[in-house]
Amino acid sequence: MRKNNITKRTLKIYHAYNPKYFPLCFLQSIFKGVIPYFNLWMSSEIVTALSEGRKEQELLLLVAITLLGNLLIQIIEAALGRSAETAYEILKNNEAAAFNRKTLSLDYDKIENPDVRILRQKIKENSYINNYGVEKMRWNVIRSMSCLIEITFSAVLFFEMLHLIMTVPFHWLSIVLLLSLIGFMTLTILFQLYGNKKSSAFWDKIGELMLRENRYGQGYNPAGMDNRIYRQQIIINKLYRKFNKEHLKTYLNVQQKIFILAVPVRICSKLSELCSYLIICFYCTLGAFPVGSIIKYVGYLGQLTGNIGNLFNVITDLRTNERFLETYLEYLDIKNDMYQGSLTVEKRSDKRFDIAFKNVSFRYAGSEVYALKHINLNIKVGERLAIVGMNGSGKTTFIKLLCRLYDPTEGEVIMNDFNIRKYDYRQYLDIFSVVFQDYNLLAVPLGNNVASAATWDIAKAEKCLYEVGFRERYQEMPKGLETPLYKNFDEDGVVVSGGEAQKIALARALYKDAPFIILDEPTAALDPVAEAEIYSKFDEIVRDKTAIYISHRLSSCRFCDKIVVFDKGEIVQIGTHQQLLADETGKYHELWYAQAQYYA
C-alpha cells in the first residue's frame, strides 16, 4: 500500500464507526477558533474608540457586545463539545466491537498463528505508547481542523491588512520589514519541521523502553506464590530499578535534545513577532489603520505564524504515525481462506455419522515439524473411543482436525463418503459437543453458560447439571439458573471452583445434544470421588452419542470400546484395554505400568 493512502484509508474506516463524530468536532473547532479572534477584534475596536474619544454609550455597547458575544460563543462551543464527547464514546465502542468481531470472525488457524498473535499484541502495545495508531490519527485530524480554521481566520485579516497597506504611499522600509517577516516565518517553519523529524526519532527510543517495561509487567504477577516462595521480589525490584534508571537517563537526554532543537524555532518566532509589530506600528503612523488595529493585526499575525507551524507539526505527526496504522490495517486485511463448504449436513435421528481419517498429516504455520503424520483411523457411530499418549504426541491436534478447526496439510477427513471440507462449515461444527482442556465459561448467568444461548430450557439445563454431579452446588444457588457466574459484571456473582467450572462445561456439552461428544481431559480438575461418579455414569450420560475421550489417566480409559495410542504424531497402537495391555512391547503397556507403579 502506498504511504499516502494509509492515513486516508484508516480514517475512512475509523470515520464509519460513527459518521457524526468528525463533523461535530469540525463545528466545535469553528466556534472554539472564533473566540480568540473575536476577542482581538473587539479589543481593537474598544482601543480605537478610546483613542478617538467616542461617547461613553458607544464604549459600553462595545464592552457589552464583547461579553455577550463571548458568552454565546462559549455556550455553543460547550454544547458542541458535549455532543462530540458522546459521539466519541459511541465511536470508541463501535471501533472496539468491530476489532473484536474481526478477531472472532478469523479462521481458527489464524487465531492460533503466532504472527497474527504478535500483530494483535503490537496494536495493543502501540496504543499504550503515546496513543499511537488510530487514537493518534484521530487527535491529529482534530488538531488539523483547528489549525486550518484558525489559519483561515488569520489569513482573512492578513489580507485585509495588506489591502490597507496598499492605500498608503510606497516606502522602502516596508519592503524590508515584509521580506524579513516572510523570511523569519519560513525559517520558523523549516526549523520546526526539522525539529519534529528529530523529535519523533527521539520519542521512538522512549517508546521502545516503555514497550519493554510493559511486556515485562505483563509477565509479572505481584500476587504469584512463586514470588513469595523463591523471593523473586528481589530480582524484580532490581530489574525495575535498572529499567527506571535507563528510562530516566534516556528521557533526560531526549528532553535536552528537544530543548536545543526548539531554540532556533523560538528565536525565529520572536523575530517574526518583532517584524509584525514594526510593520503594523510603521503603517499605523502612516495612517493606514487606527491605533486599535495594532492589537488586532499583531494578534492575528502571531496566530497565523503559530498555526502554520502547528499544521506542519500535525503533518509530520501523521506521517510518523503511519507505520503504526500499517500494523492496524495489516490485521484488518487478514483474509479467511478456509473453504466454508456448501453441502448440507443431514439431520439424522439415528446420529449415523461415520468419520474416517485417510493418510492425514498436519503441521502448524511456521513449523517444519509435522504434528501428525499419516493418520488412518475410522470412527464408527456410537463408538466409545479413547485417545492416549504422552504430552505433544498429537492428541489435541487430532481433535482440532476432526472438528475442522484446521484443515489437513496432507490427506483428507471423510464423513459419510464426503470430504468434510464440502460440508457447510457452521452445520458441520454443530454436530460436535466438545469440552476442551482449556474450556472457557462466561461471566453471565449459569443458564446462559449451560445453554450457550440467550434463553434456556430450565428442565433440560437442570437435568444436564444433575447428570454431571452439580446438583448439590446448584441447589445452594438462590437464583438457580439466573445466578451470575463470577463478579466481573455483578457483585452478587458466584465464583465457582475449577472442578465446579469443569462440571458446568460438561453440562454445556450435554445440553447441546450433538451426535459427537468429545472430552479432552474432562475430569482433570475433579476430585477422585467426583471423577469416579462421572465414569460410573458415563454410558448413561453419553447415551447413543459417539464419544471420543482424551486422557492422561489410562485407568479411566478401560470402559472405552477402542483405545488409540499416539506417539510423536503417529498412531502406534489400536485396540481394547486388554489387547493393548497384553502387548508387552507396545507403548500402551509402557504407559500403563509407568502409572500403575505409583498405585501398587
240 and 138 inside one domain: no
177 and 40 inside one domain: no
Domain limits for position 37: 1-167+321-334
Return the pLDDT at 189. 77
383 and 329 inside one domain: no
Return the pLDDT at 1. 47
116 and 190 inside one domain: no
Its pTM stands at: 0.75
419 and 548 inside one domain: yes
Where a domain ends, among 266, 287, 308? 287
Q: Is residue 85 part of a domain?
A: yes
Spatial distance between the Cα atoms of 129 and 545, rounded to a whole number of angstroms? 52
Q: Is residue 346 part of a domain?
A: no
148 and 187 inside one domain: no
Q: Is residue 309 part of a domain?
A: no
Contact 558, 551 (CB under 8 A): no
503 and 413 inside one domain: yes
Q: Is residue 60 part of a domain?
A: yes
Q: Is residue 101 part of a domain?
A: yes
User: How would you write the pLDDT of the chain (600 residues) with one tens digit per residue?
Assistant: 455 589 999 999 999 999 999 999 999 999 998 888 888 888 888 888 887 788 888 888 988 998 999 899 999 999 999 999 999 999 999 999 999 899 888 998 888 888 888 888 888 877 776 678 899 999 999 999 998 998 888 888 777 777 777 777 777 777 787 788 788 878 887 887 777 777 767 766 766 666 666 666 555 555 566 666 666 667 777 777 777 787 778 778 877 877 888 888 888 888 887 887 787 788 778 777 777 777 777 777 777 777 877 887 888 788 878 888 888 999 999 998 888 988 998 877 666 788 999 999 999 887 889 999 999 999 988 888 999 988 888 998 999 999 999 999 999 999 988 999 999 999 999 999 988 877 888 888 999 999 988 889 999 999 999 988 888 899 988 899 999 998 888 888 888 888 888 889 989 999 998 889 988 876 665 666 666 666 666 667 777 888 898 877 777 777 788 999 999 999 999 999 889 999 989 999 888 888 776 655
The neighbour count for residue 318, using CB atoms within 10 Å, is: 19
The neighbour count for residue 139, using CB atoms within 10 Å, is: 15
Angle at 463 between CA 459 and CA 467, to 5 degrees: 175
Q: Is residue 343 part of a domain?
A: no
Q: Is residue 301 part of a domain?
A: no
User: Total structural domains in the chain?
Assistant: 3
Alpha-carbon separation of residue 195 from 189, 190, 198, 257, 294 (angstroms): 10, 8, 5, 9, 32
Return the pLDDT at 560. 84
Helix (H) or strand (E) holding 523: none
Report the candidate in 31, 59, 34 with the shortest Cα–Cα distance to residue 46: 59
158 and 18 inside one domain: yes
397 and 328 inside one domain: no
159 and 175 inside one domain: no
Angle at 362 between CA 356 and CA 366, to 5 degrees: 160
25 and 157 inside one domain: yes
108 and 184 inside one domain: no
Q: Is residue 297 part of a domain?
A: no
Spatial distance between the Cα atoms of 79 and 551, rounded to a whole number of angstroms? 63
State the pairing for strand pair 410-415/384-389. unpaired
Spatial distance between the Cα atoms of 566 and 587, rounded to a whole number of angstroms? 9
CATH number at residue 496: 3.40.50.300
